[in-house]
Structure 1
């Protein structure tokens, strides 16, 4: 299962739901805004309150969100807006005023994504804004200098094209002196790419991070398959906990390589999962900026029968087992703090490359 947004809650698993809540693509400025319909808005707020109360990662916060929404609804606060987008933004602002969460947001679903040929919401099955399997989210890769491999990810959506490209990259750059992984523009996703890459980086079985899922969500998922890299461990009541582990590949491609991970303020969600796993195990040097701080994973959920609105509902968190702390709201600090645009140059310098970053990228094979 992959971390695509708009995944049905009943099919949710921790590995599948690290998606960054980018939501439906923003309409261009020349497109007429969606009209506001109070009856649909009232339904959306009511459904959102229930979903947050039942499934938000922190039960008490979920109750606080729900109480606020129901109070505002009863007071008529959500009865009149110039358009649907303004309504969604107002509800989101009210939620963030209770407690900030880097994923929690209400979205307007584009009309073309609302219903399939049978009138059924596409989002419940395939996801209206999910990437096509032909989409490759590796935007650049190759030899950036002699013995130095470079790969830049825009997301971890686990598409067939991305996984095939990553396998080819591993095969073609085996034994690199240094590997530079660039997640400066990474917008989230799932575990598929990580689970393909990690065995090539580690030379011993290693526990990476912990993932806690609200028990109500895990129970709703039923027998939905989990990735083999997730191992259930003991947890407090109301929580289902998994350890994300790596088992090394035999003669892994980069087990002897120096690893550099480039980060930026916009690196979020699954990118931060990667950053924490590599930092806490000491397997990579993080170079760049503190990441965004979107640490609670979840799924995009429809809020009304016509699927006019959806919200990303965070129902789990990933955290460092050594400290018990995640990165929600604070991000992950790099080992070497520099501006994002200087991060590649610093990684090249540490790799023994004197060439400027821009020149190295343009000449990359």
Structure 2
């Protein structure tokens, strides 16, 4: 393990600026940020004792120009693998194993209204397909469904499409991802077939949101809202629409950089910076009761 006396911020800053210039989805912003980090380094702003302090300072500077919350220098208490993305994947696997595969709660409320909580992330589909299918199939017989994303911090776009496939009646264009080179784009569609039983596209559907709802969880919320499929109840979400990748730049530090931008086919834009605005604003703590009441009223009507 690197000791405090061995810690040197300059190599971390140099590698982070190189990665920014090479990979950030907004090249003009990457030049500004690279200059800012190098200037702050020269001024001695990063003369700190350890990696955790450096991560906090650099993250604040990375997010100071355009507020992109996916831009981070992320501290890991345990040493992280050198392979690209390995640090994030290892942390996600630990969360997956302790959250019933990302579906920690399935409950039937009064009136035939089901709640499926998806948290703390929408894990890679090769891991999550089985537990998500089980949870959504179990809830498919309910009269109305509440999908709770209040504690979901993001995840895999393929998993977003997988979940949407249980909540729609036909194959639907959900999102388009545009990449740094400006020449490539990738469309995301719901699937024509899924394992288990679908809830479908006609019964009442509500999505719970909070200020913590972020990234891929925001995409799920936004896609369903823009399609007119779900009523969003709760708080404005965090506002992170750019898919990102991670690079290990120190045994305890990972630089995360957005490499693409999402464009919704209905709105022609995304939720970056603004977050997803709820249809029914209320405190996150009250949103489940509010959505349940809305569902009962609609079913009674």
Q: Say whether the fold is shared (TM-score over 0.5).
A: yes
Out of 90, 97, 101, which is 2:64 matched to? 97
State the alpha-carbon separation in 1 of the partners of residues 61 and 69 from structure 2: 14
The whole-number CA distance in structure 2 between the counterparts of 1:277 and 1:124 is: 26
Q: Return the offset for 1:254.
A: 2.6
**Which residue of 1 is the match for residue 15 of structure 2?**
47
Secondary structure at the aligned position of 1:311 is classed as strand
For 1:66, the equivalent position in structure 2 comes to 34
Structure 2 contact 234–286 (Cα < 8 Å) conserved? yes
Q: Is 2:80–2:248's contact at 8 Å kept on the other side of the alignment?
A: no
With over 3 angstroms needed to count, the CA separation of the structure-2 counterparts of 1:257 and 1:141, relative to structure 1, is: same
* 1:1-365 equivalence runs, <5 A: 35=4, 37-39=6-8, 41-78=9-46, 80-110=47-77, 112-114=78-80, 121=82, 125=86, 127-132=89-94, 134-135=97-98, 136-154=101-119, 155-158=121-124, 162-215=128-181, 238-249=182-193, 252-304=198-250, 307-352=251-296
Report Cα offsets for 1:302-345 as digits up to 9, x if no partner: 114xx332111111122323443221221010111111112111
Q: TM-score, normalised by structure 2?
A: 0.86
C-alpha displacement of 1:60:
0.5
Question: Larger relative contact order (C-alpha < 8 A, sep ≥ 6)?
Answer: 1
Provide the rounded CA distance (Å) in 1 between the counterparts of 2:133 and 2:243.
26
| Bigger helix share | 2
Partners in 2 of 1:323 and 1:196 — Cα distance?
Answer: 21
Once residues 244 and 118 of structure 2 are traced to their aligned partners in structure 1, the CA distance between those partners, rounded to angstroms, is: 21
Distance 1:323-1:124 versus aligned 2 partners, 3 A rule: closer
CA–CA distance in structure 2, aligned partners of residues 214 and 56 of structure 1: 7
Segments of structure 1 that go 5 or more residues without pairing to the other structure are: 1-32, 116-120, 216-237, 355-365
Gaps of 5+ in 2: none
Shift in CA distance, 38/72, structure 1 to aligned 2, threshold 3 Å: farther
Distance (whole Å) between structure 1 residues aligned to residue 220 and residue 10 of structure 2: 39
How far is 1:256 from its partner?
A: 2.8
Contact 1:260–1:284 under 8 Å retained in 2? yes
Quick one: distance in 1 between partners of 2:245 and 2:187?
A: 20
Q: Secondary structure at the match of 2:277?
A: coil
How many residues are aligned here? 290
1:351 alignment partner, SS class = helix
Distance 1:34 1:146 in 2: 59
Following the alignment from structure 2 to structure 1, what is the Cα–Cα distance between the partners of residues 114 and 67?
38
1:287, distance to aligned residue in structure 2 (A)? 0.7
Give 1:353 shift: 7.0
Residues 338 and 255 of structure 1: CA distance in aligned 2, closer, same or farther (over 3 Å): same
Relative to 1, partners in 2 of residues 1:177 and 1:188: Cα closer, same or farther, differing over 3 Å? same
Structure 1 pair 161–316 and aligned structure 2 pair: CA distance change class (3 A): closer
**Paired residues of 1:34 and 1:85 also in contact (CA < 8 A):** no
TM-score for the superposition, normalised by structure 1: 0.72
SS at match of 2:107: strand
